[in-house]
Structure 1
Amino acid sequence: MKPSPFTYHAPTTTAELTELLGTLDDVRIIAGGQSLMPMMNFRFVQPGHLIDLNTVGGLAYVDVQRDFIEIGASTRQRFLQRSQDIAKHMPIVGEALSHVGHRQTRARGTIGGSLCHFDPSAELVNMAALHDAVLTLTSVDGDRSISFGEFGLGFLTTSVQPNEFLRSVRLARWPEGHGYGFEEFAMRHGDFAICAVSCLMTLDDRGAIDRLAVAVSGVSETPVRLTEMEGRLRGTMPDAGTATDLAAAAGDIEAMSDAYITSDYRSHLARVITRRAFTKATERADQRVRA
């Protein structure tokens, strides 16, 4: 299959880019193209105009700040996977990226492209939910920042307006040496996850949970943070009973069905994988406390 005819645009500045977005209709933006090009080739998507971000400078970077790490939307996934800053401050991101496609696709795919495509099974979408991401959208009118909860509206649907593009994403930093765990289940390595769960944790001097974050994706149309359980479990010991309670909360998420996977199976996976991610995060956090 070949894509339907379109007009290609290659702006070199954000001013040119926002001008195009503000004046053209029926536009799609391409960065890595790992999701968009197959959809265009199968004619699921037939834009009249295609705007290339690869010619726009200043959109690929990693900036470490005290409370967050800001990542330019055009930053390649492979770059993030190999970044020493990411490995030091957000090791779970590198762990999750090892499940994204294959080396060749990670070499082209970008963090912004993955977030804007907003497949609920995508690992970087899970990471954004886990780290309370704040996203900066840019148009001719300037920048606006929105939380990740405002960004994702549903399956393959975001709140990005036709005249906007995603400029950057900020991921909240956790204390050095925090516990972390990422687990997913897919039919084959590199496939989108049927279910993925990530967990961040810090423990106090007694070994009790001081802070906890858990994100479950692939089960419903958007990633789900288990915020109620995160608060309820603070101050408790991270034992088998705690893991069971957290797994039950993951299993209670209203799961979707499709032609291949039933909602019951997704719920089962959510329970099993949540326990695994929590256990891994506990072990790593416990090592820090013991040290």
Structure 2
Amino acid sequence: MKAANFAYHRPETVADAVALLGEYGDDAKILAGGQSLVPMLAMRLTFFENLIDISRVAELQSIDLEDDHVRIGAATPQAFVGMDDEVAESVPLLSMATPHIGHFQIRTRGTLGGSIAHADPAAEYAAVAVTLDAVIEATSSRGCRQIAATDFFTGLWETALEPDEILTAVRFPISSGRSGFAVQEFARRHGDFAIAGATVAVDLDDNDHVIRCGIGLLGLGSTPRRAAAAENAITGRPVTDVTPDEIGRLAMSGLEDVPTDLQGSASYRTRVGAAMVARAWTEATEAIHA
């Protein structure tokens, strides 16, 4: 099957892209790496009269260290993010998550912003953004606004972007102090979408008490989400008092929309999710004491 006919636009600047999006409105769709959109078009699962290809917009391909955060342009290829030394040092969770995204060929075309804007509940970069309290930049003809990652994902493949807005960059806070990070996910084959997974970022004080913990969940709802119940329950406690089984169980508590599909039932995903959180917690906390 082939995609239905569409008009193809290749702007050279963000301003040009925003103008095109404003002109065509709901009849237009932003195309970045195309690793998610193109298959959906080919299978006729979606259709747009106009595709606006931002993959050649130079100002959207950047990795910049700015004060207390790293700003990554939306069209930066995932492979570049995974190989960048500055990212590995400043936002290690991004580097850890990158190898879990599809295969190398996909990562050379797929982009950080495209992955996040697609809002797949099993997307690794989306989970990282939520876990680290990243900030997403959205640009339109009206200007640029910032959206907290925890407010960005509104439903299955749905975000807080307005119809005339483009995701232009994501700001990730730089890790500091005694911090540990880990990514764990389970898929039937490497490169497949995760049945369930977890991203963990934990900060300890000098007395080994948890002062912050972010736990992102993949494949366990209609959106990438935080395990707020688990985070709240362990903050302030000595890290040695928190067992992997406990945090895995707490992370699954209160989840109401865990999907059932061909990959597994909701109860199966929940059991796998608890195991992934437990493993990620263990890895992250052990890294602090290594």
TM range (shorter): over 0.9
Please state whether the residue corresponding to 2:201 is helix, strand or coil.
strand
Partner of 2:252: 251
- Tell whether 2:75 aligns with 1:74: yes
Partner of 1:274: 277
Normalization by structure 2: what TM-score?
0.94
Distance 2:242 2:76 in 1: 40
Distance 1:259 1:101 in 2: 19
Could you report, residue by residue, the CA deviation over 1:62-116 in whole angstroms, capped at 9, with x for unpaired residues?
Answer: 1112321111000100000000011111122111111101111100000111011
Please state whether the residue corresponding to 2:239 is helix, strand or coil.
coil
- Tell whether 2:210 aligns with 1:217: no
| Ranges in structure 2 where 5+ consecutive residues have no aligned partner | none
Moved more, 246-255 or 68-77: 246-255
Q: How does 1:85-96 map to 2 (within 5 A)?
A: 85-96=86-97
The question of whether the paired residues in 1 share the 8 Å contact of 2:91 and 2:172 is answered with no
Deviation at 1:35, TM superposition (A): 0.6
Could you report, residue by residue, the CA deviation over 1:116-171 in whole angstroms, capped at 9, with x for unpaired residues?
Answer: 11110011111111111211111111111111122111111112122111111111
Paired residue type of 1:132 = D
Partner of 1:151: 152
Distance 1:156 1:35 in 2: 11
Paired residue type of 1:95 = M
Partner of 1:7: 7
Please state whether the residue corresponding to 2:171 is helix, strand or coil.
strand
- Report the number of matched residues: 287
Distance 2:238 2:178 in 1: 18
Distance 2:189 2:240 in 1: 31
Moved more, 80-89 or 220-229: 220-229
The question of whether the paired residues in 1 share the 8 Å contact of 2:227 and 2:252 is answered with no
Partner of 1:198: 199
Please state whether the residue corresponding to 2:30 is helix, strand or coil.
strand
Could you report, residue by residue, the CA deviation over 1:167-189 in whole angstroms, capped at 9, with x for unpaired residues?
Answer: 11111222155211110000100
Q: Structure 1 runs of 4+ off > 6 angstroms?
A: none
Q: How does 1:15-34 map to 2 (within 5 A)?
A: 15-25=15-25, 26-34=27-35
Partner of 1:286: 289
Q: How does 1:160-199 map to 2 (within 5 A)?
A: 160-175=161-176, 178-199=179-200
- Tell whether 2:268 aligns with 1:265: yes
Partner of 1:237: 238
The question of whether the paired residues in 2 share the 8 Å contact of 1:233 and 1:242 is answered with no
Please state whether the residue corresponding to 1:58 is helix, strand or coil.
helix
Distance 1:203 1:159 in 2: 33
The percent identity for this pair of structures is 36
